[in-house]
Every structure is written in C-alpha cells, then in structure tokens.
Amino acid sequence: LIEKNGKVMFRFKCFINYFLALYFSKNNHNILTLAESEKYYNYDELFEYFSGINKDMPELAECISIKLEKLIENVPNLNELLNLSLLHSKLLDDLNEENVDNLIPYCEEEKDDLTDININSDYDPTLIDTSKEKLETEKLIYTLHILGSIVKNSEEFSGNDKIKYLKNFMTEIVCLM
C-alpha cells in the first residue's frame, strides 16, 4: 500500500484487478454484463485475472468471441484472408484434447519474469480511463488479448470448448498477421 494525495491505495494496478476479479467471481452474471458492455475492452486485465480465478467459464469466452468476430468483420479484405489455406493448416487440424495442454511454453517463474514492470511516480493504479474512445484496431487488439487470456486460463473447460476457443483465437491471430 502507498499513500498518494491523501489516499491510501495499492501500489500496483494488478492488486485492484485481482480483488475486482474476486468480487466478480462471486457473481458470474456481473462479469458477463461487463463483457457485454460497450467499453468492455478497457477491462482487459480484469478479464485476465477473472479467467485465472474462474477457469471454467466458457460463456465468457463465447461472449468475447462474438465481440471479436464482429470487430474482425470490419477488417478490410478479411474474406480473402479467411480463405487462405493457412487457416486450415496442420496445426489447427491436429489440435485435439490430448495435445492442447502441451502448448503452454513458459513455467510460472518465466511468466513472472516477463510480466514484472517498473512503475514511475506518475502511475495511479486507481484510474481506468474509460472516457477516451478507442480506435477499432485498438478494440480489436484488446479483445484479442482478452480472449487469449481466457483461453490461456481455460484449464477446466471441457476438451471441446477449449479446442473451439483456441482454434477461434488462433484463427483470428492468423487473420491479423
């Protein structure tokens, strides 16, 4: 905890997201309401923490997948990209319940080393700026990050759900490349 401008707050935004995720985990309806909201993409880190706590919520993955599909529809020349044989590559075709769990490349310590950051003195972890409208491309990237986080944390999804959303995520990544 730190004191700033007479307020006691968490030093890092991750703590706020963690405790918000705990709050939302007590009522799954609220997180789906947030996911369906117009500015859901401003809460990408909250969704990441939530999906880490609640590893079996395919309805959240479905909600974000639908939003991602709508955003992807606005990408120029997408129909041509979707017809590429790369989307039907061996990697996607061979994805099944037995090998889906072997795709995680980093151990926890390696992931922590990659995600630790230094915070400057202007940082205010209590602010989530929802006032500024994001560009369509920014919304697309944030939505892709949210879906990727949910898929990464989908340890308790059924095998078919995990494969469905992993393929969806990978297809969208290939389209954007």
Tokens found for residue 177: 């490349």
Position 117 scores a pLDDT of 46
Position 73 scores a pLDDT of 78
Q: Do 14 and 124 touch, CB atoms closer than 8 A?
A: no
For the chain, 177 residues long, give each residue's pLDDT as a single digit of tens.
888 788 888 878 888 899 999 999 987 668 999 999 999 999 999 999 999 999 989 999 999 999 988 888 776 655 555 554 444 455 556 666 555 555 555 566 765 555 554 444 555 555 555 666 777 778 888 899 999 999 989 888 888 888 888 888 887 776 666
Q: Within 10 Å of residue 160's Cβ, how many Cβ atoms?
A: 11
Position 140 scores a pLDDT of 84
Position 130 scores a pLDDT of 61
Q: How many degrees, rounded to 5, is the angle at CA 157 between CA 94 and CA 60?
A: 110
Calculated CA dihedral for residues 53, 114, 169, 56, nearest 10 degrees: -10
Q: pTM for this one?
A: 0.68
Position 85 scores a pLDDT of 42
Residue 4's beta-bridge partner residues? 7
Position 60 scores a pLDDT of 94
Phi-psi domain of 135 (left: phi exceeds 0; alpha: psi -120 through 50; beta: other): beta
35 exposed, middle or buried (CB, 10 Å; 0-12, 13-18, 19+)?
A: buried
The residue ranges of DSSP E strands in 33-163, in sequence order, are none
Position 118 scores a pLDDT of 45
Cα four-point dihedral sign 140, 15, 58, 113:
positive
Radius of gyration of the chain from its Cα atoms, rounded to whole angstroms: 18
From residue 7, give the alpha-carbon distance in Å to each of 55, 103, 126, 130.
34, 43, 10, 21
